Amino acid sequence: MIVSSSIELYTTVLGWFMFNSLWDLLTGTGVALIPFAFIVIRNLIEARKSRDKTDIGVQAFARSEIELYVAFFVLILCCNPAINLAPQSVRANIHQCEVNGDSLTQTTQEIRIGQTGTTYDRIDALELDGRTPKVPIIWYIWDFFSSGLSTTAAGILPCQPDLRRISTELATLQIHDKQLRDETAMFYRDCWRPSLNRYLRDKPPVPQEIKDIDQDIMWPGSRFFLGHSSYYSHYRTTEGLWSIRYDRDRDSNIVTPEYSDGRGFPYCRQWWLDESDGLHGRLLDYFADELGNSQEQSTWSAIMQVLTRTSQSTQDDLLRALLSANTDIQRLQINNNYPRDGFWRGTADAINASAAAFMSIPDRTKARMYRDAGPLVQAVILMFFTVVTPLLLVLSGYRLDVLVTLLAVKFSVFFWSFLFAIAVWMDNFFLAAVTQWGDHSDPTTILGVRFSNDTGMDVTVEAIRYVIRSLFFVLPLLFTMLVGMAGVKGSAAMSNVLTTAANPVAAAATPPKSPR
């Protein structure tokens, strides 16, 4: 059986397991046979009410014959578990767009229970008491057709960079390595902040090769600070670093070798650009590992693909985009307080900086939240639908028109996978259009970290977020409503056909009246 998401692997198996348990309960108590008795009794009453009181039993049987056949058909093919559903036979087809040079190639990844790479793979995530669920014949065929059609339709959509996912992962990205995080904070405190203050005070002339000095000086890898003798070549760390070893010629004026413990005191330029131990290279390596170890398409590869298409493939552009998204770095830029500077020093500034940094996270994560919640809601609804199906069919008297309606509605819920894929595609399409993907010069804008300082564009991006959020609700509900209406109409027409077919049989079974 084919499903469309990781969670659906488990909810599908659990749903049919509960279906079997409920059906065993209905058959064990005899409730499953009540509709047959109800059909016979109802038609006996109808025959009794007819004008012709003769041969009531024959008339009742003629009226009940087709209904009993239909009810028996529904019970055997739609309620009685018949086909084994081994948990390992359920698979999810996940469509991905992989980076291939400067292009995207769509691939399909097949995952099974225990191989999703999520917390769902825990050993005790699915305990079935050693039993194998079984699926009725009609529902097995219908679910296979519905899910296969929806996942195949979702794969038809063209590939594009997932700007929303990139933006969300960058918005929540943190430097978890304590030593690297502390050293980055030290660099902001000892190098970038003093250099920025000096530049704002002195306002020196800017070389022609630096086109946008306002953007350049707002991050620690500033070309201007690195190339000017009065900035990164002048300032140095105030604390010894384990990452860059002690150099007698360079550090002896600060501390003697016997008191250095091997820790170095490099100037900011060497600290940032050192070929083997520079902070620039170590930050890039760390982010590459963090963003490359995901079950989905590697975020690192996606970022590189976006930057390649925008001719912004340099390491400086990439690292500036990553640091711009990091909330820890944003707090450093605002208040410049080092984590070990003391609790009370700059507490108000720290609070304000934290608020400013985190206020932007919900805006970038809410849209992604709907994308993740959609398949989860779909999986739960399908599981609930599966569990209550035998009860609904029994209560309806195994009516064929009710079965047709249930089939139509369940198909519509399966088809939500395609509707969610459309909403995701539209989201990225709108974001790419707003950020002028392919032409814009600011990599942080291209990657969706911050779209612009322009209020008009910010309003447009916010509008896109609300529109896409509505699509995740409106499209599925509208489609299910339309399919449900079509199913009701179709089932009503089928009921009329059965009634029309039953009337001649009942009329033929009625003996002719004797002439007076």
What gap in Å lies between CA 267 and CA 272, rounded to an integer? 9
Residue 418 has pLDDT above 60, yes or no: yes
- Pull the structure tokens for residue 509: 């079974």
Q: pTM for the complete prediction?
A: 0.74
**pLDDT, tens only, 134-171:** 999 999 999 999 998 998 898 888 887 777 777 777 76
| Residue whose C-alpha is closest to residue 491's, from 395, 401, 386, 423 | 401
Q: Mention every residue, 6+ apart, whose C-beta is less than 8 A from residue 85.
A: 1, 13, 16, 132, 133, 134, 135, 140
Q: For residue 464, what is the enclosing H or E element?
A: helix 455-509
What gap in Å lies between CA 387 and CA 133, rounded to an integer? 12
Cα 389 from chain centre:
28
What gap in Å lies between CA 345 and CA 328, rounded to an integer? 17
Contact 317, 446 (CB under 8 A): no
Residue 383 is predicted with a pLDDT of: 94
The lowest-confidence range among 34-48, 120-134, 219-233, 400-414 is 120-134
Residue 200 has pLDDT above 80, yes or no: yes
Contact 190, 183 (CB under 8 A): no
Q: What are phi and psi of 220, to 5 degrees?
A: -70, -20
Q: What is the mean pLDDT of residues 301-325?
A: 66
The lowest-confidence range among 109-123, 262-276, 348-362 is 348-362
Q: What is the mean pLDDT of residues 467-496?
A: 80
**pLDDT, tens only, 331-372:** 665 555 444 444 334 444 444 444 444 444 455 566 677 788
| Residue whose C-alpha is closest to residue 423's, from 488, 379, 474 | 474
Residue 304 is predicted with a pLDDT of: 65
Residue 23 has pLDDT above 90, yes or no: yes
The mean predicted confidence, pLDDT, of the chain is 77
What gap in Å lies between CA 133 and CA 10, rounded to an integer? 12
Contact 279, 188 (CB under 8 A): no
Q: What is the mean pLDDT of residues 174-179?
A: 84
The lowest-confidence range among 37-46, 271-280, 379-388, 418-427 is 37-46
- Pull the structure tokens for residue 143: 């679910």
Residue 114 is predicted with a pLDDT of: 78
Residue 344 is predicted with a pLDDT of: 37
Q: Give the type of residue at 83.
A: I
Measured CA to CA in angstroms, residue 171 lies from 164, 315, 365, 506 at distances of 10, 19, 8, 71
Measured CA to CA in angstroms, residue 361 lies from 6, 170, 172, 184, 355 at distances of 26, 10, 7, 21, 10
Residue 408 has pLDDT above 60, yes or no: yes
- Most confidently modeled range among 70-84, 166-180, 202-216: 70-84
Q: What are phi and psi of 97, to 5 degrees?
A: -110, 105
Alpha helices in 293-346 (DSSP H): 299-309, 315-325, 327-335
Contact 77, 389 (CB under 8 A): no
Residue 69 is predicted with a pLDDT of: 85
Antiparallel, parallel or unpaired: β 2-3 and 91-100: parallel
255 falls in which pLDDT band (50, 70, 90)?
confident
Angle at the Cα of 371 from the Cα atoms of 446 and 174, rounded to 5 degrees: 55
Q: What is the mean pLDDT of residues 116-122?
A: 72
503 falls in which pLDDT band (50, 70, 90)?
low
Position with higher pLDDT, 493 vs 109: 109
Cα 387 from chain centre:
25
Contact 243, 196 (CB under 8 A): no
Residue 452 has pLDDT above 50, yes or no: no
Residue 343 is predicted with a pLDDT of: 38
- Pull the structure tokens for residue 284: 């890039």
Q: Mention every residue, 6+ apart, whose C-beta is less than 8 A from residue 366.
A: 465, 469
What gap in Å lies between CA 283 and CA 262, rounded to an integer? 22
- Pull the structure tokens for residue 321: 């985009």
What gap in Å lies between CA 118 and CA 294, rounded to an integer? 10
